[in-house]
Structure 1
Amino acid sequence: MTSEQPNEHSARATTACEAALQAVIFDVDGTLADTERDGHRVAFNRAFAQSGLDWNWSVATYGELLAVTGGKERIRHFATRHAPQLLNQTGSATWLADLHNLKSTIYANLVLDGTIGLRPGVARLIRELRGAGLRLAVATTTTRSSLDSLLLASFGDEAGSLFEVIGAGDVVADKKPAPDIYHWVLRQMKLAPGECLAVEDSLPGIRAARAAGLPTLITVNAYTADEDFAGALSIISDLGEPGAPARRLGGQPLAGEYVDLAQLRRWHRQAVADSDP
C-alpha cells in the first residue's frame, strides 16, 4: 500500500460522511431570535390589557410558563390556575382563540417595527447553508403568522424561499416535547432523522428532537442557560460571528469562532459515528 492510499481513502470517507447531512431543521423562539422575554411576553401582556384582563406576566413568571409549549396552551394553563371561570363559560374556546389571535397580531407588529432581531450568526449561517445546497426546515410551536413576520422583517424578499418545509403552530396536535412536529417535518422532506441536524434552545425542544432521532445543537438564551442539555451535540452561547466568538458551554468542541457548515458537518459525523453499533 502506498503512502497516498490511506489519504485517498480518508478523503472518500469524509466526502461520504459529509453527504449524510442533508438538512438542518431550526426551532424559532429563542433559537432564531430572542423572541420570548421582550417579544411574546410583551405581546401577551398587551393583549391581556386590551382584553380587560388584569394579568401581567413578569419575566420570572413567563420563564416558568415556558415549560408549557404553545401560546394558547400557555394561556389555558394560566387561566386554569388563576381564572378557571373563564374556561367554564360558554364560548370559552372562541375567547381563547380570539385572545391568542390578538396577541399574535401585537407580536407581529413588534417584529415588523424592528423590536426583535435575529440572534448572532443566524442570518449568516442560514445563507451559507442555502448557498451550499443544504435543505432547510422549521419545527416550531409558534404560529405561522408570527414566524412569517419575523422572517419578513429579518430577510425581506428572501423570506419566502429560505425554508423548504415549515412545521408551525397547530400543524400537529401534540406539541414539544412530543416529537410529532419533527416527525411531520421529516415526512414532508422524505428524510431519515440521521440525515438531519436540529438546532434548538430549550429542554422541550431537545426532548422533541432527540425523541425523533435527530442529533441536536443547543444555543442557549437567558431563560435556558442553566438547563441540563444532556444528549446535545454541543451547547453554545449562540452561533457566533467573525470577531464575536460563540462560547462552548458543553458537549463537543467548537473548532473556530463561530458555527458554519463545516462545523455542523463535523458534529454530524461524530453523531453518526457514535450511533453506529
Structure 2
Amino acid sequence: MRGDIGVRSYWWEAGRPAGAVVEPLQAVIFDVDGALADIERDGQRRAFNAAFAAHGFDISWTVAEYGRLVCIGDERRRIASALRRRGYGRISAEIATHIQHTKNDLFAEWVLDGDVIPRPGLDDLVNSLYAAGIAIAVISTGSPHWVEPLVRQLIGEGIAGAIVTPDDLPRPTREPDLHGHALWELGLGPECALAVTGSAHGLCAATAAKLATVIVPTAYTGGQDFTGAAAVRRDYDGWSADGCARLHRHWWMAR
C-alpha cells in the first residue's frame, strides 16, 4: 500500500524491465461513455434536462451547451456549475446530488427500455474478442445503477469479466483509477491489455494506467487532441480480435 491508507497500489507500478518480451493481448478495457455507445448527446443530456424539470428548475441544456459541459467529468460538479451560474451559491453541491440521483434513475429507465444502441461494429468486435479468449472489461464514471444494465444491453449478459465504476474503488478520489482497478480484477498488468475510449479525457486516464489506447471519437469529442493514442478509429467496422492484438503488439514494440 502507499502511505495514503485506502489507495490501492499495483505490482506493475515499479516499471517494465528493459528488454522485456512483449506480452500477448489478454484483455480489452472499454469505456462505456463513448466507446460502447455515444450516450452523451441524446442520452445523458436528455436525462439531465428531465431531472432539472423534475426538481422544478428551468434549465435545459442544448446540444451545443452540453457539448461544452462534458469536459467536466464529474456529473455533480457539472450540475453544480450550472446552478452556481444561476445564483444558487453554496447550496449548489447539495442540490446537484439530488438532481444527479434523479438523472441516474431516469437514464436507467431509458436504458432498460432499450433506448441506447451500441457503436457501429461493436457487436462483431466483441464476439471476435470473446471467441479468441480475450477478456473484456468495462469502465465508467457513472453509477452502477445504470452502467451494469447498459453493459448487459450493449454487449450481452456475462460477456464482461469486470465492470468497474467509482463505487468499486477502495476510496473515492477526484480522478478514480478505473483502468487500474479493472486490471486488478482481471489479474493482469497493463502490458497485457488494450484500452478503448472515446475522448481525450479517457485517453489521459488510460495512458496514466500505462495502457495502449485506441480512440473511437464521438460527435462531441472528434476535435480533441489524441496525441499518444495507439490509433484513432471512426467506428469498429472491420475491426477484429486479430486487429486488436496486432495494434497492441506494435504499440508495445515501439516502446
Q: TM bucket by the smaller chain?
A: 0.7 to 0.9
TM-score normalised per structure 2: 0.84
Q: Does 1:75 align with 2:79?
A: yes
Q: State how 1:203-242 maps to structure 2 within 5 Å.
A: 203-240=200-237
> For the residues of structure 1 that align with 2:236 and 2:87, how far apart are their CA atoms?
41
Corresponding residue for 1:263? Answer: 243
- Consecutive unaligned residues in structure 2, runs of 5 or more: 1-20
Corresponding residue for 2:134? Answer: 134
Corresponding residue for 2:254? Answer: 274
State the Cα distance separating 1:125 from its structure 2 match. Answer: 1.2
8 Å CA contact 2:32–2:151 kept in 1: the answer is no
8 Å CA contact 2:179–2:209 kept in 1: the answer is yes
> For the residues of structure 1 that align with 2:101 and 2:132, how far apart are their CA atoms?
37
State the Cα distance separating 1:263 from its structure 2 match. Answer: 0.6
The answer to which structure, 1 or 2, has the higher relative contact order (CA under 8 A, 6+ apart) is 2
> For the residues of structure 2 that align with 1:153 and 1:235, how far apart are their CA atoms?
25
- In the superposition, relative to structure 1, how do residues 211 and 144 fare at CA in structure 2: closer, same or farther (>3 Å)? same
State the Cα distance separating 1:80 from its structure 2 match. Answer: 3.2
- Consecutive unaligned residues in structure 1, runs of 5 or more: 1-15, 241-257
Cα deviation 1:145-201 (Å, max 9, x = unaligned): 22223234335xx42x111111114434335xx461122222222211111100001
> For the residues of structure 1 that align with 2:135 and 2:87, how far apart are their CA atoms?
45
**In structure 2, the residue corresponding to 1:77 is in which secondary structure?**
helix
Q: Which amino acid aligns with 2:110?
A: L
Question: In percent, how many aligned pairs have the same letter?
Answer: 35
Cα deviation 1:31-69 (Å, max 9, x = unaligned): 101110000000000010011001111111111111111
Q: State how 1:139-158 maps to structure 2 within 5 Å.
A: 139-155=139-155, 158=156
Please point out which of 26, 29, 34 is paired with 1:30. 34
> For the residues of structure 1 that align with 2:163 and 2:76, how far apart are their CA atoms?
19
> For the residues of structure 2 that align with 1:211 and 1:179, how far apart are their CA atoms?
11
**In structure 1, the residue corresponding to 2:214 is in which secondary structure?**
strand
> For the residues of structure 2 that align with 1:185 and 1:154, how far apart are their CA atoms?
19
Please point out which of 179, 182, 186 is paired with 2:183. 186
Corresponding residue for 1:174? Answer: 173
Larger Rg, first or second structure (1 or 2): 1
Cα deviation 1:124-150 (Å, max 9, x = unaligned): 211221121111111211211222232
Q: State how 1:33-72 maps to structure 2 within 5 Å.
A: 33-72=37-76
- In the superposition, relative to structure 1, how do residues 138 and 225 fare at CA in structure 2: closer, same or farther (>3 Å)? same
RMSD over aligned Cα atoms: 1.9
